[in-house]
A = this chain, B = another copy of it.
Amino acid sequence: MLSPRLERLVQLLVIYSVVMLIVEIDWTSAEHSHAAPPFFLWSERLVALFFTFEMVLRWQSLPHATFTEKLRTTFGRPEGWFDVLAILPFWLGFFLPAEALSVVRTTRVFRLAKLYRYSPTAHAIVAALWRAREKIRVVGVMVLMTVLFGSLVMYELERKAQPEAFGSVADSAWWCVVTVTTVGYGDVSPVTPLGKVVAAFLMPFVLAVMGAFIGIVGGAFQDVADEPE
């Protein structure tokens, strides 16, 4: 653990860093950080340098003697991985071509994961999802099977009528996911009479499977919200 004031500074810099990311994208419309006003570039460099410095400090504050023990403690918890994830894209940026800089900039959003260290709620959610992992796996397999089945059937029924929307099993799976979550954008929907009939009878059942999945994952979140009351 670092000093409370330093931890506070880390939290503030994470939020500052993500806010600056959105401001840089939406306000300057720059393609990547080198194309934006220099303020954003230097702000980012200072933040990344600070997070690197923070990692070094954390490493030295570990109460272990050997390098291997320190390594195991650091990467034995998600926090260690999140710290690396927060600065790796920045340092990789120096070795990447200019086209990749835009992706590098967006990866800054993963810095939000650093807040995980400070949030008892986030810890509780991960624990709740972990407890429900067997349920999630079982219903997750059901969802996958249903989506796979629905995709292949609808692919066969619709591909002749609308090759641009149901032209491959992957396209058909996209229809299936959009339908099963009841989002229903309308970019893809069955048009043949048989496709509509089959879809109409499939829907209530696949919705039920997906509903069970969302119920289980959402239940884990709700359990966490219930606890502090």
Contacts and interface: CB of A to CB of B under 8 A. Distances in A.
B221 A214 contact: no
A42 to B, nearest CB: 21
A218 B209 contact: yes
Contact of A125 (B102, B142, B226): B142
A200 to B, nearest CB: 4
Interface string A100-127: 0011001001001000000001000100
Contact of A221 (B103, B173, B212, B221): B212
Contacts of A196: 174
Number of copies: 4
A135 interface: yes
A88 interface: no
Given A181-B207, A185-B186, 12 more contacts: A22-B152, A26-B169, A106-B153, A135-B226, A139-B221, A178-B189, A182-B182, A187-B191, A208-B214, A211-B214, A211-B215, A216-B222
Contacts of A46: none
A87 interface: no
Interface in A201-229: 203-205, 207-222, 224-226, 228-229
Given A106-B156, A109-B153, A142-B125, A214 B222 contact: no
